[in-house]
Structure 1
Amino acid sequence: MIKKHTIYKTDNWNMMTVEVHGRQLVLREISDQWGEETHKFLSRPAMMDWAERRFDPEKFEGSDEERQSIIDALKAV
């Protein structure tokens, strides 16, 4: 059984989801600027390592609260 988590969804073109396929995590990032990017992780620590780099506080275009809510949602997967 695949369990799908919505990390954020601002509209039909800007969203991030994580699907749990047993031990594998499939993260899909859909953007109206870049299209769809799919990342596969074999562990939650690997996904969180990617997330910390992807949502670097120095480069994140949004509030600290937005960034923290994305990080918290990923941790909850």
Structure 2
Amino acid sequence: MIKKVQIYKRDKYNMLTVEIQGKSLVVREISDAWGEECHTFLSRPEMLAWAESRFQADRLEGGEAEREAILEKFRSI
């Protein structure tokens, strides 16, 4: 059984979801600029480390508040 968690969705072309597939965590990042990227992680700490390095406050429109909201959703998985 696959459980899907939506991290954010700005429109139908810009979203990020995490699929829990048994022991694997598959992060699907869809953007209108880059298309779809998939990242597969075998542990939650590995996924959290990726998320913390991937989402920088200076690169997000909402700054530190948006970064914390995104990271909190990752931590809840």
- Structure 1 and Structure 2 fold alike (TM over 0.5): yes
> Aligned letter for 1:17?
T
Q: Over residues 2-42 of structure 1, what are the superposed CA-to-partner deviations in whole Å (9 max), with x where a residue is unaligned? A: 10000000100000000001110000000001000000000
Quote the residue 1:10 is aligned against: 10
Q: Report the structure, 1 or 2, having the larger helix content.
A: 2
CA contact (8 A) 2:27 2:38 kept: yes
TM-score, normalising length from structure 2? 0.93
Distance 2:60 2:28 in 1: 19
Instruction: List gaps (5 residues or longer) in structure 2.
Output: none
For 1:45 and 1:25, the matched residues in 2 are separated by 11
Give the AA of the match of 1:21: Q
The within-5 A match list for 1:49-64 is: 49-57=49-57, 59-62=58-61, 63-64=63-64
In the alignment, what sits opposite 1:44?
44
In the alignment, which residue of structure 2 is the partner of 1:23?
Answer: 23
Shift of 1:65: 1.0
Tell me the TM-score normalised to structure 1 length: 0.93
% identical aligned pairs: 53
- Aligned pairs, number: 76
Cα deviation for residue 76 of structure 1 reads 0.7
| Cα-Cα RMSD | 0.9
> Structure 1 residue runs of 4+, over 3 Å off?
none
